[in-house]
Amino acid sequence: MSDRLYIFDTTLRDGEQVPGCQLNTVEKIEVAKALEGLGVDVIEAGFPISSPGDFESIVEISKAVTWPTICSLTRAVQKDIDVAAESLKYAKKGRIHTGIGTSYYHIHHKLNSNPDAILERAVEAVKYAKKYVEDVEFYAEDAGRTENEYLARVIEAVIKVGATVVNIPDTTGYCLPHEFGEKIKYLVDNVEGIHKATISTHCHNDLGMATANTIAGVMNGARQAEVTINGIGERAGNTSLEEIVMTLKSRYKVLNIDTNINTTKIYGASRLVSNLMNMPVQPNKAVVGRNAFAHSSGIHQDGVLKNRENYEIMDPTDVGINESSILLTARSGRAALKHRLELLGFKLEKEKLDEVYEEFLKLADKKKDIKDDDIALLVGDATRKERRIKLDFLQVVTGKDLMPMATVRLDIAGEKFDATSAGNGPVDSAIKAVKQIIHRQVIIDEFLVQAITRGSDDVGKVHMQVEYENTIFHGFGANTDIITASVEAFLDAINKLPVAK
Ligand code: KIV
Ligand code: ZN
């Protein structure tokens, strides 16, 4: 008989905390629905006390999603718990996730407290949350660096007052896999009543061991894993959903543990999150990276042609990678595009589909080999068209031993403005021309240009971080012309600035 691992997805909470990855409520609902389609058991939808936007998103996700449990995060603070309970009022199954730091560092240097007082606060928080919901998860923040004996005391105490899930986060990504596994085993062996609760892992990837630590935890008795799509999350990220699910599937004979995930939807969910959050997936990322199933050396190609299993331990179609089955070209119709978009997790209304299709045809004229990433970018572009400041015209003159000059026309709420500027390069001259029009003291802190697939006809993606009045804003642009992509990224960030009076 196999065991079941519950998948708790925190893309919309721990993942969304990443600078530049913030989503609006509509986008969060789209991700939540994709997670439901994927078959996750729990969706951590936000930290409601942190902002009205987070609160509203949990309410709307609760309405939009049917069967996964919706989870709302709190500190061990009554006001947080009140707000979390309120945020879950429409959830068919709601869970409050409350907790407190238990490591020496957190107790003494963050909470200015002592171990007994922290244990008391943990118990009081769980008791208080139980007044609202039956399903209460407790997290012992920085459990990875918490002494096992004290951790066991805290966990035993919260289970006694009704915690249904006990989360053991390696908050700082510090543990080695054998240490994390032993920690879970210690709790299994030493906590009275441990069988009354599910043990959960929540590993961060600071040393690149989040997946290994989670698997070690599962091998020692954890039956819930907290994960994010593409491993996004604070700093180096969280354990990635796709790595855990595919490890369990590929090594089932050894681990004998199942999940409820429909693995063929993994790739679509990965693209959706990457595109909505403007967070590129590294090409060599396990399971969902562009090169995860690409064989480039002659020996490997020959081996795969003889028998796929010579060099592949997973079938790409098992994770929903099916690129070559429909080749999209300038002759493809709307239906083919719609089908491809649906595989990528996008369900578009007719009007938006028409708009994306028009842009698709223009791109297909410039680029013969249209990839999934190109298509997902077109969807993003169609959304950006609704912005207040738009690029209407751009002309750049540049070349070796020439002074680059750019002329820009912006459409600001329907009115047109022109400017021309020189610069030390084509991007610099175009951005300087834009700045002449918008008159805002904006500093570009980060500027990242990336080709998304390959070839000189490729689409270039630009990520920009700008600073305005001590606040950071992120912008994103994509185009076969990287100067246009750069200006689009700059304008994307500018559109997020407070409107000037
Ligand atoms: O990393 C962590 O400890 C967390 C908790 C809030 C669960 O994200
Ligand atoms: Zn975390």
Tens digits of residue pLDDT in 213-235: 999 999 999 999 999 999 999 89
Pairing of the two strands 443-451 and 460-468: antiparallel
The whole-number average pLDDT for the span 388-412 is 92
In this structure, the answer to whether residues 198 and 321 fall within a common structural domain is no
- Is the CB of residue 293 below 6 angstroms from any atom belonging to ligand 1? no
In this structure, the answer to whether residues 376 and 401 fall within a common structural domain is no
Q: How many CB atoms lie within 10 A of CB 423?
A: 18
Nearest in space to 172 (alpha carbons), one of 135, 213, 126? 213
Q: How many CB atoms lie within 10 A of CB 279?
A: 18
Question: How far is Cα 468 from Cα 285, in angstroms, rounded to an integer?
Answer: 33
- Is the CB of residue 14 below 6 angstroms from any atom belonging to ligand 1? yes
Identify each DSSP E strand in 195-339 by its residue range.
Answer: 198-203, 224-227, 257-258
- Is the CB of residue 10 below 6 angstroms from any atom belonging to ligand 1? no
Residue 305 lies in a domain: yes
Give the model confidence (pLDDT) of 104-136 as tens digits.
999 999 999 999 999 999 999 999 999 999 999
The whole-number pLDDT of residue 297 equals: 64
Residue 86 has pLDDT above 60, yes or no: yes
Could you tell me the residue range of the domain that residue 396 belongs to?
388-494
Residue 140 has pLDDT above 90, yes or no: yes
Among residues 332, 359, 383, which one ends one of the domains?
383
Among residues 324, 348, 383, which one ends one of the domains?
383
In this structure, the answer to whether residues 178 and 324 fall within a common structural domain is no
Which ligand has the shortest distance to the CA of 172?
Answer: 1
Cα 327 to chain center, whole Å?
28
Question: How far is Cα 469 from Cα 47, in angstroms, rounded to an integer?
Answer: 26
Band (pLDDT 50/70/90 cuts) for residue 376 is confident
pTM score: 0.77
In this structure, the answer to whether residues 43 and 182 fall within a common structural domain is yes
In this structure, the answer to whether residues 308 and 237 fall within a common structural domain is no
- Is the CB of residue 144 below 6 angstroms from any atom belonging to ligand 1? no
In this structure, the answer to whether residues 248 and 301 fall within a common structural domain is no
In this structure, the answer to whether residues 435 and 411 fall within a common structural domain is yes
- Is the CB of residue 103 below 6 angstroms from any atom belonging to ligand 1? no
Nearest in space to 312 (alpha carbons), one of 320, 303, 321? 303
Distance from Cα 159 to the centre of ligand 2, integer Å: 21
In this structure, the answer to whether residues 184 and 204 fall within a common structural domain is yes
Among residues 228, 247, 277, which one ends one of the domains?
277
Minimal-distance CA residue to ligand 1 atom 5: 141
Structural domain total, the chain: 3
- From residue 485, give the alpha-carbon distance in Å to each of 85, 431, 490: 43, 11, 9
In this structure, the answer to whether residues 316 and 251 fall within a common structural domain is no
The whole-number pLDDT of residue 296 equals: 57
Distance from Cα 224 to the centre of ligand 2, integer Å: 14
- Is the CB of residue 80 below 6 angstroms from any atom belonging to ligand 1? no
Using a pLDDT cut of 70, give the percent of the chain over it. Answer: 93
> What kind and span of H or E run contains 118?
helix 115-130
The whole-number pLDDT of residue 77 equals: 98
In this structure, the answer to whether residues 356 and 451 fall within a common structural domain is no
